[in-house]
C-alpha cells in the first residue's frame, strides 16, 4: 500500500495533501461569500469532493505535467469564482453553466463591471500567484504527485461525490441558487443539464383551460369579447415603446423642483396609467421583456428565452395584428445578434426589422446611437410604410438609459443637487430624463404627421435600472430622499405602463396588480382582437386580482399577489413574506402555500404552451 511507504509526517506535509488543503480553503471562502454558508462539514462532504475529483482526474490524465496542471486548474477555478461573484452581485442569482454562452453579451453591462468588484475579490488568486509556487519550491521539483495517491483520492472523492449528486437528483430544482447552496454548485449543474436535456424541468403535459388559469389567479373568467374595453381602440395605429430601465417611481416625480419625466407626465392626460405592474423578465433582460410583450408567456428564467425557441413561426402579437391588416416593424439600434434577435424577430413575424445595420450610428451614447437618432429614424420610415399599409404596428426599443447611465454633459437636462453628482442614482435620473425628452419629441412628430389621434401608444419599462452592487449606500440614501421611504422590492420591480389613446382615455390611473405578461392581452382587447393561442396574462382593465411569478430576479417559488409579496429562500436569505401595500414583513401566511403551488402550476403550463408552439409550427 502506498500509505505504508510514506511516513505520517511526510504524508501530512506531502505536496498533494497541501494542495488539497489549499483547495479546501478556497472552496470554503467561496461558500461563505456566495452562500453565507459557514458549515465546514457541508463544504467537506458536499462541495469539496466534486472539485477534488476534477483535480485528481486531471492529475491522472496529465501525469507528466502535474504542477502545470495544478496551477492551470487553480487559475481557472479562481477566475470562475470571481465571475460567479460578480454575476451574483449584479443579478442577485448564481450563474449556471449555460450562462457562459452569454459572455458575448457582456457589452450590456461592460461599463458596470468596474462597479461590482473590490480588491479583496482577487484574494481568490492568492494560491495561484503565491501559495502553489511556494509549495512547489519548498517541496522540491523532484517531489512529484504520485499516480497512486491521486488514484486513491479520486476513488474516495468519487464515492462521496456520486452519493451527494444522486441525492440531489431526488430534490426539485425550483430555484438554482438555493439548490446550489443546499446540494453543491457542481451537483446543481449536473441536475440542470439533465433537466434541460431531457425536458423534465418545468414543462408538464397537464393542460389548463382559460377558466382554470383565471381561477388560479383568483378570478372568474369572462370571454374577452364581453369585456367593456373590447374594441374601444379598434382600427388605430399601434406603437409600443419599451423604455430601457424605466422604473415607475420616476413618473410624476420631481427633484430640485424639476420633473424627471415631464413628457411622460403630459401624456398621462390622454392615457390609462397602470402604476402597479411588475417586471417579470428572466436572464434575457430586455429581450425577455419583448418576449413577454409579444407572446404573453413567461420567459425561460435562467436562460434567455431566445436561446430555447425553435426556428419556426411563433404565435405572437405581431402575427395576430398582421391577420387583422397591420404592417409590422421593430426598431432597436443595436446589433441584431445581441440576445439573438436575429432569431427572435423572424420567429415573431415582423415585416420590417431595423437594427444598427439600418439605424445610423450617430451621437453614440453607451453602446449604441442615442435615442434621438432611433426616434428620428422611425419618423423617416413611417410615411413610406403607411403607403403600403393602412395600419401600422411599430415596436420601438430604446437603449440610451442603459446601465451604467453615463450621459455626456450636453445631454444632462436635470440640474441636480451636488449630492447627486457622479452617483449611480444621479446618472440614472439624467439618462431617464434624456429618453423622456426624446419620447416627447417623437409624440410631437406623430401629431405633426396627423396620426397621433388615430393611434394607441403603449409605453412601458423593461426592467429595473437600480439594483445590485452598483447601488451604493449613498445611492440608497438618495433614493430614500426621493421616495420618502427606504428603497424596497416594490420600488425596484414595478415599471410604469401607459396606454395612451387620445379621445378614449382621460388620465385615469389604475392600481390593480399587473405584470408584463398582461400587456399583450390588454392591448389586443382594446383593439378588439382575439389571439389564436392561449395567453397566460389577462386584460388589466377587466380583472382585479392577479397572481404573478417571476424567474431569475426573485428565487424560484416566489410570487406576487394582491396582498403579499413572497420571496422564496435563496442562496443568502431565508423565505420572506411582505405586506405588498406597506412592504413590511408580515407573519400572515394565509393562502401562502396555495399561492406558491398555483404560481408554479401557471409557470409550468406556460412552459408547456411554449414547447407545444414549436412542435406545431
The 10s digit of each residue's pLDDT in 228-243 is: 999 999 999 999 999 9
In a domain, 174, yes or no: yes
172 or 221: whose pLDDT is higher?
A: 221
Same domain assignment for residues 341 and 410: yes
Same domain assignment for residues 368 and 469: yes
What CATH number is attached to the domain comprising 268?
Answer: 3.40.720.10
In a domain, 556, yes or no: no
The 10s digit of each residue's pLDDT in 501-527 is: 999 999 999 999 999 999 999 999 999
In a domain, 237, yes or no: yes
> Is a pLDDT exceeding 50 seen at residue 617?
no
Exposed, middle or buried: residue 528 (CB in 10 Å: 0-12, 13-18, 19+)? middle
State the chain's mean pLDDT as an integer: 89
Assigned C-alpha cell, 553 = 430576479
The 10s digit of each residue's pLDDT in 41-52 is: 999 999 999 998
| Half-sphere exposure of residue 288: CA atoms within 13 angstroms, side-chain side | 22
Residue 473: the pLDDT is 96
Residue 105: the pLDDT is 52
The 10s digit of each residue's pLDDT in 130-144 is: 877 877 776 665 555
Rounded to two decimals, the pTM is 0.85
Residue 601: the pLDDT is 94
> Is a pLDDT exceeding 60 seen at residue 392?
yes
pLDDT-based confidence at 355, cuts 50/70/90?
very high
> Is a pLDDT exceeding 70 seen at residue 80?
yes
The helix (H) or strand (E) run that includes residue 84 is helix 66-91
**Percent of the chain beyond pLDDT 70?**
90
Same domain assignment for residues 283 and 413: yes
Residue 278's domain comprises 233-539
In a domain, 163, yes or no: yes
Q: What is the mean pLDDT of residues 468-480?
A: 95
Residue 116: the pLDDT is 63
Same domain assignment for residues 414 and 480: yes
Residue 131: the pLDDT is 78
Cβ(395)–Cβ(331) under 8 Å? yes
Residue 157: which residues within 8 A CB-CB, separation 6 or more?
Answer: 49, 50, 52, 53, 56
In a domain, 438, yes or no: yes
Residue 148: the pLDDT is 66
Same domain assignment for residues 259 and 115: no
pLDDT-based confidence at 202, cuts 50/70/90?
very low
Same domain assignment for residues 318 and 264: yes
Same domain assignment for residues 170 and 289: no
Task: Report the domain count for the chain.
Answer: 2
Q: What is the mean pLDDT of residues 563-575?
A: 90
Residue 201: the pLDDT is 43
Q: Please tell me the distance from the alpha carbon of residue 343 to that of residue 512, in angstroms, as a whole number.
A: 35
Q: Please tell me the distance from the alpha carbon of residue 466 to that of residue 475, in angstroms, as a whole number.
A: 9
Amino acid at each position: 500500500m502506498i500509505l505504508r511507504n510514506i511516513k505520517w509526517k511526510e504524508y501530512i506535509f506531502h505536496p498533494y495533501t497541501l494542495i488539497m488543503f489549499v483547495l479546501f480553503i478556497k472552496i470554503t471562502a467561496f461558500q461563505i461569500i456566495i452562500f453565507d454558508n459557514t458549515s465546514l462539514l457541508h463544504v467537506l462532504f458536499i462541495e469539496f469532493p466534486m472539485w477534488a475529483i476534477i483535480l485528481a482526474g486531471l492529475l491522472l490524465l496529465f501525469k507528466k505535467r502535474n504542477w502545470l496542471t495544478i496551477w492551470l486548474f487553480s487559475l481557472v477555478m479562481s477566475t470562475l469564482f470571481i465571475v460567479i461573484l460578480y454575476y451574483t452581485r449584479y443579478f442577485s442569482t448564481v450563474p449556471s453553466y449555460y450562462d457562459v454562452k452569454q459572455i458575448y453579451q457582456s457589452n450590456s453591462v461592460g461599463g458596470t463591471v468596474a462597479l461590482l468588484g473590490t480588491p479583496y475579490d482577487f484574494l481568490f488568486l492568492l494560491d495561484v500567484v503565491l501559495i502553489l509556487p511556494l509549495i512547489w519550491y519548498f517541496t522540491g521539483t523532484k517531489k512529484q504527485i504520485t499516480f497512486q495517491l491521486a488514484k486513491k483520492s479520486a476513488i474516495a472523492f468519487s464515492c462521496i461525490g456520486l452519493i451527494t449528486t444522486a441525492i440531489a437528483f431526488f430534490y426539485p430544482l425550483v430555484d438554482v441558487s438555493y439548490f446550489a447552496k443546499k446540494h453543491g454548485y457542481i451537483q446543481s449543474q449536473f441536475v440542470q443539464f439533465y433537466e434541460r436535456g431531457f425536458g423534465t424541468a418545468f414543462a408538464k403535459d397537464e393542460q389548463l383551460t382559460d377558466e382554470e388559469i383565471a381561477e388560479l389567479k383568483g378570478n372568474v373568467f369572462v370571454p374577452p369579447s364581453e369585456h367593456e374595453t373590447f374594441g374601444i381602440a379598434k382600427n388605430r395605429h399601434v406603437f409600443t415603446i419599451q423604455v430601457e430601465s424605466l422604473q415607475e417611481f420616476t413618473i410624476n416625480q420631481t427633484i430640485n423642483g424639476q420633473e424627471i419625466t415631464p413628457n411622460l407626465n403630459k401624456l398621462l392626460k390622454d392615457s390609462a396609467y397602470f402604476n402597479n405592474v411588475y417586471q417579470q423578465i428572466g436572464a434575457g433582460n430586455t429581450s425577455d421583456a419583448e418576449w413577454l410583450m409579444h407572446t404573453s408567456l413567461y420567459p425561460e428564467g435562467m436562460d434567455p428565452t431566445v436561446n430555447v425557441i425553435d426556428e419556426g413561426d411563433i404565435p405572437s402579437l405581431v402575427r395576430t395584428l398582421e391577420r387583422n391588416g397591420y404592417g409590422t416593424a421593430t426598431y432597436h439600434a443595436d446589433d441584431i445578434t445581441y440576445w439573438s434577435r436575429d432569431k427572435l424577430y423572424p420567429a415573431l413575424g415582423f415585416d420590417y426589422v431595423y437594427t444598427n445595420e439600418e439605424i445610423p450610428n450617430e451621437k453614440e451614447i453607451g453602446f449604441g446611437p442615442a435615442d434621438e437618432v432611433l426616434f428620428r429614424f422611425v419618423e423617416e420610415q413611417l410615411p413610406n410604410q403607411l403607403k403600403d399599409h393602412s395600419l401600422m404596428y411599430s415596436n420601438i426599443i430604446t437603449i440610451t438609459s442603459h446601465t451604467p447611465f453615463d450621459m455626456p454633459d450636453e445631454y444632462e437636462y436635470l440640474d441636480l443637487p451636488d449630492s447627486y453628482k457622479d452617483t449611480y442614482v444621479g446618472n440614472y435620473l439624467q439618462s431617464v430624463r434624456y429618453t423622456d425628452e426624446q419620447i416627447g419629441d417623437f409624440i410631437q412628430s406623430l401629431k405633426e404627421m396627423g396620426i397621433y389621434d388615430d393611434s394607441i401608444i403603449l409605453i412601458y419599462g423593461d426592467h429595473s435600472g437600480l439594483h445590485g452592487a452598483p447601488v451604493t449606500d449613498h445611492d440608497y440614501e438618495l433614493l430614500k430622499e426621493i421616495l420618502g421611504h427606504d428603497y424596497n422590492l416594490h420600488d425596484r420591480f414595478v415599471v410604469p405602463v401607459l396606454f395612451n389613446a387620445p379621445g378614449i382615455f382621460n388620465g385615469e390611473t389604475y392600481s390593480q396588480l399587473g405584470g408584463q405578461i398582461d400587456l399583450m392581452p390588454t392591448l389586443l382587447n382594446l383593439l378588439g382582437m382575439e389571439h389564436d393561442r392561449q395567453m397566460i396574462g389577462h386584460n388589466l382593465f377587466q380583472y382585479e386580482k392577479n397572481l404573478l411569478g417571476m424567474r431569475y430576479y426573485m428565487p424560484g417559488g416566489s410570487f406576487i399577489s394582491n396582498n403579499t409579496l413572497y420571496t422564496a429562500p435563496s442562496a443568502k436569505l431565508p423565505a420572506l413574506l411582505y405586506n405588498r401595500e406597506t412592504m413590511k414583513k408580515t407573519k400572515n401566511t394565509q393562502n401562502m402555500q396555495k399561492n406558491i403551488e398555483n404560481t408554479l402550476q401557471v409557470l409550468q403550463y406556460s412552459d408547456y404552451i411554449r414547447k407545444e408552439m414549436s412542435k406545431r409550427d
